[in-house]
Amino acid sequence: MARRVPKRRNLVPVVELLGFPEQEQALLSQNLTLLGVEAFWLGRDPRGMRADLRIVRAGTSALRETISLKSIPVAVVADFLHGSKGIVPPEVQDQVVWLGGWTADSFALSRRLASVAFQLLDPSTSITGPSPSVFLSSRKGKILRIGSAAAARMGEKATYLKGKNWISWLEKPRRTILLQRMKKPIPKWGFGLSDCLVRLHLNRWAFWSLWITSDPKGIQVSLHDDTERKELGDQLEYALTHDPLTGFLNRWELRRRMERHTRVGHGILLVMDLDDFKIFNDTRGHDEGDAMLCRVARRLRDHFGVEASLSRLGGDEFAVFLRGANFMQSVHRAKKLVALMARRRSMSGSSAEPSISVSLVKVQKGDPPSHVFRAADAALRKAKVKGKSRLEIVGGRTPAVPEGKGSWTLEVSQAMQAGEFEMWLQPVRELNHGRVLFHEALFRLWTPVGLCMPDVILPAIDRLGMRIHLASLVMHRCLGMLKNDPKLVISANIGREFLSDADLANDLIGSFQRSRVKPERMILEISEEAGLAELRAGKAMATRLCKKGFRFALDDYGRGSASLMEVIELPVYLVKLDPILWKKAIRVKQARWVLDKIVMLFKSLGVHVMAEGIGRRSDLKDVRELGLEMGQGFALGRPLSPSQTHSLNPRGRSSNPGTPREASPRSV
């Protein structure tokens, strides 16, 4: 039997919390303590006392665990977002004394739960709020006796209400719950139900909370009009769960909905980030930045529709959760969104129209939202490193995201601000005679641990939002080397940023004109794997730069899709074959036939072709047999700093190429 404490002053109920998320559970416990209720969780009372009430979050296994404790009444906090069917299993319905709706306002929920706890210990205690309407009713809902004051609180006369069926006024979901409960014996402590939508006389709608206790002549019902509280609570809940700028869900509410849905089903999570928004916000101001975010929010709403859970995670980062969505259809929709944003940016020719990077994660049943978001964030960083304005997919069951070896963000930021980087030069030679045709400028950064390679520091630069800043620094450093050596020709992988930002491209053109350096001496490289979307979207800007004299090279060709359309449609001067492509052509006869046709097509279009990654002397003969005219790699010349002395960096530290591990040199 439940522990009954004689009525006395300063009575303190004891409640146990089960099934809530840890943060929400701690907040409820704190609020209940402020309201005079002693709350504990994790299944043990620190004082060894027995609970008067067990409060359980619906939809968790904790609700079924209450079966073994028949003597303790249970209050269920449910989420009626998708209806009330199946919230309370039949085997525990006898123990439930109160069923209420979840609210984002933790203090309001705590007040209602504290009211239930006090009501159980002392039935004469009034439930929180104005005086209730108390009347006598039959088990089928017919009002047998009601006073004039109680009827007035319901907005009617006692003579009109007597004999009416008040249960029929309730909305169907709550009516079904109540009728099922009325068929069983009512516990001696009573039964409560909150958030009941009621249709009264003259189509007047109201929200009721009710409490039922047994009576020798029927049942005694206490009704509370919570309409005003409900309206204020809904307004506060909207403010707590939605972003004020876009009207999307906030991060906390999206995770809660994902957690609830993934208990029973699967879905697709899309996390997206606007490219270079920080620079736009800093240069144009917060008002224009907010206007851009609102435009993007409208496009996301139009693109994904009302069935999607749209969220703004913070800053320029958005998320979309598609419940039960098909994987391939979701991939198609995500690719269409990336292409649409890139096309708008290209047509406008302004940074006011942003491109977008997207990561897509397939969410299986039972996947914790925290693991899903970590996988999505890791994929989004990968998309940024590969060139932005692209989609990165995480398929199958959400993988465990490994922890990084260390964060380079702070070190990279300090080194970038101090200008502690170098441009090393690696020769590109003619294969037949060995003559140097031009040099590729490779980015090297000094950090407190020594010299770092781009594959280590570029992720940190992307997190800092300094990719365009880096492109500007590389361009000016290359321009300085061209001014110092009139015979030098340089290629540098900085083309993607110049195609996506009109201001940066104009700065490039103006700087070369003021320095009186011929643009033909500068080759802008774009990674085939990372930059095809930007190259296609920035066709107009690429054409303009070519008219000014700049030349374009397609880097790492074969690592991505190896598409021919970009080479045919866009002003490409040079194609650099990735080792993956030409080494396979040496081993596989069919791949050799395909490569021969590709090289023949490029030469007919006037596009030069070269091989990257020639690391050994034995590779030179194989590359010459493929009909290639240029090559680059350690076998033809290692990268060297312009000063030829790199034993000490600007801070006076010794070079340590092995920390972090140095991979084969890659261009920025």
The answer to whether residues 263 and 375 belong to one domain is: yes
Q: What pLDDT does 298 receive? A: 92
The answer to whether residues 132 and 173 belong to one domain is: yes
**End residue of a domain, out of 205, 230, 255:** 230
- Whether residue 131 is contained in a domain is answered as yes
Query: Domain of 167: which CATH number?
Result: 3.30.450.20
* Tokens at 391, concatenated: 């989609």
Q: What pLDDT does 116 receive? A: 87
**End residue of a domain, out of 394, 420, 435:** 394
Number of domains in the chain: 3
- Whether residue 122 is contained in a domain is answered as yes
- Whether residue 643 is contained in a domain is answered as no
Structural domain boundaries, residue 24:
14-230
The answer to whether residues 73 and 222 belong to one domain is: yes
d(CA 628, CA 637): 18
The answer to whether residues 456 and 495 belong to one domain is: yes
Query: Domain of 471: which CATH number?
Result: 3.20.20.450
361 to each of 270, 378, 396, how far by Cα in Å? Answer: 7, 11, 8
Preceding amide of 571 cis, omega within 30: no
For 565-610, the pLDDT digits (tens) are 666 667 788 888 888 888 888 888 888 888 888 888 888 888 888 9
Q: What pLDDT does 329 receive? A: 92
Out of 18-22, 66-70, 278-282, 544-548, which region has the weakest mean confidence (pLDDT)? 66-70
Comparison of pLDDT for 545 and 352, the residue scoring more: 545
**End residue of a domain, out of 364, 394, 424:** 394
Longest dimension (CA), the chain: 111
Answer yes or no: is pLDDT of 651 > 70.
Answer: no
28 to each of 22, 100, 106, 195, how far by Cα in Å? Answer: 10, 15, 6, 19
423 to each of 473, 553, 629, how far by Cα in Å? Answer: 10, 19, 26
d(CA 597, CA 577): 14
- Whether residue 102 is contained in a domain is answered as yes
d(CA 325, CA 38): 44
The answer to whether residues 206 and 350 belong to one domain is: no
* Tokens at 222, concatenated: 């206490």
- Whether residue 263 is contained in a domain is answered as yes
Q: What pLDDT does 602 receive? A: 84
3-state secondary structure 250-316: CHHHHHHHHHHHCCCCCEEEEEEEECCHHHHHHHHCHHHHHHHHHHHHHHHHHHHCCCCEEEEEECC
The answer to whether residues 165 and 272 belong to one domain is: no
Query: Which residue stretches of 432-488 are H helix?
Result: 454-464, 467-484
d(CA 646, CA 432): 31
- Whether residue 657 is contained in a domain is answered as no
Instruction: Answer for the pair 523, 491: CB distance below 8 angstroms, yes or no.
Output: yes
Q: What is the mean pLDDT of residues 500-526?
A: 85
The answer to whether residues 567 and 596 belong to one domain is: yes
The answer to whether residues 79 and 191 belong to one domain is: yes
d(CA 241, CA 253): 5
The answer to whether residues 81 and 164 belong to one domain is: yes
Instruction: Answer for the pair 312, 248: CB distance below 8 angstroms, yes or no.
Output: yes
CA-based nearest residue to 260, from 114, 57, 121, 413:
57
- Whether residue 649 is contained in a domain is answered as no
Out of 54-68, 249-263, 399-413, which region has the weakest mean confidence (pLDDT)? 399-413
Confidence bin at 31 (pLDDT 50/70/90) = confident
For 270-314, the pLDDT digits (tens) are 999 998 888 888 778 888 889 999 999 999 999 998 889 999 998
The answer to whether residues 63 and 133 belong to one domain is: yes
Q: What pLDDT does 528 receive? A: 59
The answer to whether residues 183 and 129 belong to one domain is: yes
Confidence bin at 378 (pLDDT 50/70/90) = confident
- Whether residue 48 is contained in a domain is answered as yes
Looking at the DSSP assignment, which residues form a beta bridge with residue 101? 78
The backbone region for 406, taken as left when phi is positive above 0, alpha when psi lies in -120 to 50, beta otherwise, is: left
* Tokens at 459, concatenated: 């992720």
Looking at the DSSP assignment, which residues form a beta bridge with residue 611? 577, 631
E strand intervals along 366-469: 391-394, 421-430, 436-447, 450-452
Query: Domain of 314: which CATH number?
Result: 3.30.70.270
d(CA 33, CA 17): 13
Instruction: Answer for the pair 137, 178: CB distance below 8 angstroms, yes or no.
Output: no
The answer to whether residues 312 and 461 belong to one domain is: no
